[in-house]
Structure 1
């Protein structure tokens, strides 16, 4: 089995950063009233700026596949071009369409010749699953390199017009036309962007060796928490959009991203630390065995709580090992972990031999992904 190294990382964040006061201007006001939930969510998540693929005139500047293509091109130069890519593995929570696959659409924009593609579906873990596919392919000697990506373009999923039909329907029913907090919660959390990493079997200059990767799912015991393209019923089951008549799609905002906030708060950290302990036990490491801990969290609201849960379950990680950049770039879902890692590498803090632990949760139905890296 071959060793696998991250030899390059690149990111692409579209347009200029958007501060908290500009968000509703970009995404639109629902029912003619400023959101009350916005202030609550922003106070808790402590995100200061994020990025949208929307220009100053409200025009869409990039779709998801185009964001990903931009990140990949920034990964390349004269010594490694897009034509040298052997495997293209692209993860996202927000593909531009149901079919063709996300990686196929990215490949279409690259126009770089024949190669193998892979499109893991899911939410935040899809970026890590894209990475694991490339990791396993190179480790098995099946390919000389792989470009693995995580990306999101969720801003258009959160624009006010997505919810207008539902609000109008509520007015007709003479109900209070205010969106449920579960639907509005994610509106003020998510950001657009993409990141790409190059995997190779030999380090070329500074590199990060992937020692191992692990993934865990709790879907066998947990109901759906975050979803899009369906509606959650009172019994906890998810009814897909394809089982609703077309006229109901807008009335129920079926294609908006939604979060069961209560289920999230009760379980995301408990299961996250449980799965972390499983990974650490399997690979016989302790919190003493890594120098940097990169947890992807959706909100700084969870930072202190995560620390508390780690301590409660006996795997306390000192604050000096934590590294995050959520407040500057927002929650970019599948891309967040790579954007964090790129900033850490660029910071100049890393020294040869340092160990890095990546920790990515996915609240969709509670999945978790891990990677353990060594600085070369």
Structure 2
């Protein structure tokens, strides 16, 4: 499904602030080798583009990472935590079974009035959360949303599987989304197909106080690659057509940061120069729901993304879920 917002009498909304946070010191590919992982810097970098990743400390949780990113986003937007009336956290690694990580974040922010809940769509989570928040605001029920992607994927990695453990890292990214008189979000599209559920999963659960299954990430890398390239390209075309804009009017593509080859293949399909694709995967690896807002924050803060630019955010993740949001920033 997709939605466009031309000619609507409803309230519009736009992003007014961004923030990002990476915990601890960067961990290089060489550092992983030193820790006993059967890999090499050349093997990881050549296949994925990843050079570094960050890992949360034992006492750090997704809500802690989310707090740092949220405070930066609020500062950038010129807002306080008290101004926020909606908090949505996209995460696959919540602090605990419940309450939600969004409620934990709300408490840490000192906010006691906002609607707060989590969204679980893995690496598409932030795109899903942003789309949901946009609908709350356009309905008129809320005016200022804090939308966050936060993950501690280091907790669910199989360190004996070099094909996956070298790919992921921890982090958080956040945006403040506010009601506006002018369109900021031009189109959105969300999709899912559970037929592919076993390609990328964590097939474990807590049952009667014990773990059943295998609560560690498993992935068919080649299948994920092929699927991601296809749907990211399809979604980009879908969004531009929905907004009535030609592909060459897109200023910036901010895709899920999973693998540089996926990003390159998507750009090629769209006839888009890599100079217009925001890539941060080398610095933090795949941070799942945090990767899109982290990349967006970097490009906003270094001045690449400017007000008025057409910016596309895209994600694809386990489920499979995928989708995108087209912005006039």
**Alignment partner, residue 227 of structure 2:** 267
Deviation for aligned residue 1:151 = 0.8
Change (3 A) 1:80 1:36: closer
| Structure in which a larger fraction of residues adopt strand | 2
Greater C-alpha Rg: 1
Structure 2 counterpart of 1:224, from 198, 214, 217: 198
3-state SS, counterpart of residue 134 of structure 2 = helix
Change (3 A) 1:79 1:352: closer
Structure 2 counterpart of 1:324, from 279, 287, 293: 279
**Alignment partner, residue 171 of structure 1:** none
**Alignment partner, residue 50 of structure 1:** 53
3-state SS, counterpart of residue 132 of structure 2 = helix
For residues 281 and 130 of structure 1, what CA distance do their matches in structure 2 show? 22
Question: 2:14, 2:183 within 8 Å by CA — same for their partners in 1?
Answer: yes
Deviation for aligned residue 1:245 = 11
Question: 1:89, 1:117 within 8 Å by CA — same for their partners in 2?
Answer: yes
Deviations 1:24-66 (A, max 9, x none): 55xx54xxxx414886344311211221113xxxxx2411111
Deviation for aligned residue 1:159 = 6.8
| TM-score where L is the length of structure 2 | 0.86
Deviation for aligned residue 1:119 = 0.9
Deviation for aligned residue 1:10 = 1.0
- Tell me whether 7-16 or 71-80 shows the greater mean CA deviation: 71-80
Question: 1:216, 1:369 within 8 Å by CA — same for their partners in 2?
Answer: yes
Structure 2: any 5+ residue segments left out of the alignment? 1-9
Question: 2:158, 2:217 within 8 Å by CA — same for their partners in 1?
Answer: no
How many matched pairs?
Answer: 319
| TM-score where L is the length of structure 1 | 0.76
- Tell me whether 74-83 or 14-23 shows the greater mean CA deviation: 74-83
Question: 1:7, 1:208 within 8 Å by CA — same for their partners in 2?
Answer: no
3-state SS, counterpart of residue 76 of structure 1 = helix
Question: 1:268, 1:366 within 8 Å by CA — same for their partners in 2?
Answer: no
For residues 247 and 179 of structure 2, what CA distance do their matches in structure 1 show? 28
**Alignment partner, residue 6 of structure 2:** none
